[in-house]
Chain A
Amino acid sequence: MRAADPDVKSSKNQQIPRLPEQTPQEKIALYRTMLLIRRFEEKSKQAFTQGKIKGFCHLYNGQEAVAVGTISVLNEDDAVITAYRDHGHALARGVDPNACMAELFGKITGCSRGKGGSMHFFDAKKHFYGGHGIVGGQIPLGTGIAFAQKYLDTNRVTLAYMGDGAINQGAVHEAMNLAALWKLPIIYIIENNEWSMGTSISRSSAGDPLTKRAGAFDMAAIQANGMDLDDVRAKTFEAVSLARTESQPTLMEIKTYRYFGHSMSDPGNYRKKEEIEERRKGDPIELYKARLIEGKIATAESLEAIDAEVTEIAQESYDFAEKSAEPEIETVFEDIFAPEDQIFEFRPEPRY
């Protein structure tokens, strides 16, 4: 395993399995997922502007290759947990776009029954452990999921995502120590988009690169270029293999960039338009598209057809969300307690 910094320990394992060759279909599928996320977020943006989505809405545009690349090397039963910028991870994990958009609209057909909203997507069936609103709060949870995976001898692994701002929460450091100490099969992924809200990384975080923070725990660390899907895949594969074969955690720092404001409520005046324009030139979807065409894996026309298809899926999700029913008022009292099956039920309906 490559270390981003000489202080960071590398794995001693010489036998890391190699990333399997992809078929052209597999490659095209990844392109499709990235583009689906892009088109879905464009719809989210539109729906927010129309007042159909409320509260906070954090878009994933620009960061698509991170969620798609990392999740593409997982097995279906591996776990994913992330923060509030969660639409891309959910879609990459295979959560139904209709259920995602319906959640944004607060409908009963949403992936959290309209109770979570943009920041709190969940899908247990897809091993998607959520969308979490408190910065850094999901990292101990991810660590617990990895602990349980190991405890139950599942040979599964967990990907736990956070932003570059989240790395400054105490909970993150406590969790990383536990994972290193107890050799948990988890990959901590910092999506370094250089900004936490209006604060640039240089104003929030001492020590560069962020992977150095793994060094204190003797944890493996690796950096990836989040604008390059293949690089993300290759690096994540190393980390996942280390987790699966040796039950060792890794800290990954994936360099990326967000195109829009922190959330739909943020005008983003702290960044110059030119900065964003410049970064958009390295767009991960365009880069991958060019690679597919150059490598004669796909033609421009076939990729156009994919664009039309995912644009249609995004539109369908919007229509589905729009048509879906509001939750009944009574549902406000549902989902609070799990039913008991080992002791007598003891909780009445909430009384107040």
Chain B
Amino acid sequence: MAAESAVLTMDSSRPEPRRRPQIVASSVLGMIMFTFTEAMLFAGMISAHAIVRARSAGQMWPPFGQPRLPIEQTAFNTTALLVSGIALVFAHFAYRKRPRQALGPLAIAALLGLFFVVFQGVEWVALLEQGLTLQSSAYGGFFYLIVGAHALHAVAAILCLTWAWFRLRRGALTPAQLGTVEVFWYFVVLVWPLIYLKVYLS
């Protein structure tokens, strides 16, 4: 108990007063708030893309000379990401039963996430070679903006998953910490299908 509250408040200059019981741990709650803002960030970018896409009604899309997006490969990659999310759900329940049992599914979730990001990077290189760049058109600009923002979030979340894995191996991962990392990764996983739908399939 003492160790956990020290983790939560990080202030050692004063003994801890009695606190009200928390229904949801503060760090999980804070991360949920953060993902709301992030959801609105992506909503802003995706609807900006939708407005520009709607303006081009009747014209070519993708614009002349621009490659089409690799819909099929990305569908495969999307599946990989969703499976990673499911692996984390398994990790969640395994942790509840016996914490160390979560090591396996947690590793699978992180590795599948890493696979997703690397696969996405390979796609980017191919698209850049085909002449789709940030500057080539609003189409290209939005593609790299939205997918790039998602990739940055994915990398940050994978680092968090890795951190959680190492803490778990040392037996130092608290339920609140696992919950916080989970919320972040579920956000990254769940926002992707929307991007796939609105950017790749539009």
Bound together: no
